[in-house]
């Protein structure tokens, strides 16, 4: 099917053009911008992070699941997103230059411009639903919601994080307003659902709990452990622990570092691999503590964004993935590790224990307790059979519970309910 896309002029005519487009669409197709006899669900997913921060895995899983349900999807995302050749839906890398060292105001203008183009295209293509994905709520996110509503779109928001973990990044009052403006809200678990209600006053009947999907659709083949360790420069016989993903204060890397001396006393062949890019934090404090504890030679540090093509080597090299988070709503890393068939050890946060059952499909320790973390690590590193068993059950769990086809079906049901279409 031929597609035509909407591009706003790069001058003051842009907003007038958008207004005229809405008026024209309304006259032809009614206030929703859709032909009155069109029963198809047409959705614009607006998710600006994409390949910049690992959201491309999520975006293509959700888009693929929706496409299998017959939903007509277009994804508007970051220009850093690699687009698979076999994508079952349209992808537009419309958010260009919104990350990086450039001045904040310049990046904000590009974000606004990308949002205008995405929403303008939604009107022209008669997409009744606009689906946003928020990790925090600020002025730019509020602007997106207000524009979408002013263009008579139905608005769905997936709350990946109910509130930001970075002080000053958002205001509580603005978050309450934005979620009130949304027509439907998707939470990934009961923890997020409860906080949306308690903290932000979202009506419970507006929230759908739909889990985060697995990563099986996007994973590179897992290389043999020896090959992966050689590629990363790790000892072939070591017991390798992996901390993977964005480095944030709430992810508790410091707790794992504090546990390592006790682990090394019992397992001197252990190695901690830290792979990821800092976000709103400085890695120098972690590096300094590593040196103070005298464990620098047992900590392999790769402090950068890990490209998709290299991710499999880190999981292939490790014996255990450790997630010592002190606060989290849900974790893509735990699902990625399980998708790779790797055992996980997580802190006892509700957002984690909704997924990980201790001793069954994963392992759990007391949050923010380096001694308990060291105790669990020392015990499980001697139990290869246990690690293998929980890894196998973890993989079976994500296949059964976090399948994108089912997630697509449930997300499509949210759209149908908002559009008053039959199930």
Quick check: 7 and 117 in contact, CB under 8 A? Answer: yes
pTM for this model (two decimals)? 0.82
Separation of alpha carbons 58 and 136, rounded Å = 17
Separation of alpha carbons 383 and 371, rounded Å = 19
Which residue pairs from 145-149 have beta carbons closer than 8 angstroms and sit at least 24 positions apart in sequence?
145/178, 145/181, 145/182, 146/181, 147/115, 147/116, 147/119, 148/119, 148/122, 149/181
Looking at residue 164, what is its pLDDT? 61
Looking at residue 34, what is its pLDDT? 44
Q: Which residue, 420, 417, 423, 422, is CA-closest to 185?
A: 417
Confidence band of 171 (pLDDT split at 50, 70, 90)? low
Looking at residue 253, what is its pLDDT? 97
Residue length of the chain: 423
Quick check: 14 and 116 in contact, CB under 8 A? Answer: yes
* Domains in the chain, CATH or no CATH each: 13-213+403-418 (3.40.50.2000), 225-401 (3.40.50.2000)
Q: In this structure, how many other beta carbons lie within 10 angstroms of the beta carbon of residue 246?
A: 16
Mind listing the pLDDT tens digit for each residue in 346-391?
999 998 999 999 999 999 999 999 999 999 999 999 999 999 999 9
Quick check: 326 and 252 in contact, CB under 8 A? Answer: yes
Looking at residue 103, what is its pLDDT? 92
Give Cα separations from 411 to 43, 71, 320, 381 (angstroms): 11, 10, 33, 40
Is the per-residue pLDDT at 140 higher than 50?
A: yes
- Order the strands of the 207-209 sheet from edge to edge: 90-95, 72-78, 42-46, 129-134, 154-159, 184-187, 207-209
User: E strands along 229-285, which residues?
Assistant: 239-244, 270-275
Mean pLDDT of 59-84: 94
Quick check: 180 and 206 in contact, CB under 8 A? Answer: no
Reported as type and span, the H/E element at residue 27 is helix 13-29
Q: Which residue, 191, 284, 275, 267, is CA-closest to 228?
A: 275
């Amino acid at each position: 099917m031929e597609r035509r896309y909407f591009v706003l002029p790069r001058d003051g005519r842009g907003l007038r053009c958008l207004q005229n487009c809405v008026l024209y669409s309304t006259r032809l197709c009614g206030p929703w911008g859709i032909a009155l006899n069109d029963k198809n669900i047409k959705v614009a997913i607006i998710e600006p992070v994409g390949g910049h921060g690992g959201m491309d895995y999520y975006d293509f899983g959700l888009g693929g699941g929706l496409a299998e349900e017959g939903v007509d999807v277009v994804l508007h995302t970051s220009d850093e997103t690699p687009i698979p050749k076999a994508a079952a839906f349209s992808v537009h890398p419309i958010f260009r230059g919104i990350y990086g060292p450039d001045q904040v105001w310049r990046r904000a203008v590009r974000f606004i411009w990308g949002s205008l183009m995405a929403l303008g295209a939604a009107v022209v293509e008669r997409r009744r639903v606009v689906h946003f994905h928020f990790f925090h709520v600020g002025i730019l996110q509020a602007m997106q919601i207000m524009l979408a509503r002013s263009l008579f779109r139905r608005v769905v928001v997936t709350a990946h994080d109910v509130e930001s973990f970075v002080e000053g990044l958002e205001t509580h009052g603005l978050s309450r307003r934005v979620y009130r403006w949304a027509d439907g809200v998707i939470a990934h678990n009961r923890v997020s659902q409860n906080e949306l209600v308690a903290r932000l006053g979202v009506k419970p009947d507006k929230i759908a709990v739909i889990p985060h999907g697995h990563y099986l659709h996007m994973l590179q083949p897992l290389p043999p452990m020896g090959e992966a360790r050689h590629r990363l420069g790790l000892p072939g016989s070591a017991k390798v622990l992996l901390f993977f993903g964005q480095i944030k204060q709430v992810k508790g890397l410091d707790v794992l570092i504090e546990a390592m001396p006790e682990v090394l006393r019992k397992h001197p062949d252990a190695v901690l691999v830290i792979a990821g890019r800092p976000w709103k934090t400085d890695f120098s404090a972690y590096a300094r503590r590593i040196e103070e504890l005298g464990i620098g030679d047992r900590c392999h540090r790769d402090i950068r964004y890990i490209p998709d093509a290299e991710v499999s080597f880190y999981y292939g090299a490790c014996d255990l993935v450790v997630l010592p988070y002190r606060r989290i709503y849900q974790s893509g890393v735990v699902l990625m590790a399980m998708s790779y068939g790797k055992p996980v050890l997580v802190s006892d946060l509700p957002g984690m224990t909704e997924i990980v059952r201790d001793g069954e499909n994963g392992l759990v320790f007391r949050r923010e307790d380096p001694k308990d973390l060291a105790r669990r690590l020392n015990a499980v590193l001697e139990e290869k059979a246990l690690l293998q068993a929980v890894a196998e059950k973890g993989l079976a769990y994500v296949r059964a519970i976090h399948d994108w086809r089912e997630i697509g079906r449930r997300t499509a049901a949210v759209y149908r309910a908002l559009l008053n279409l039959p199930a």
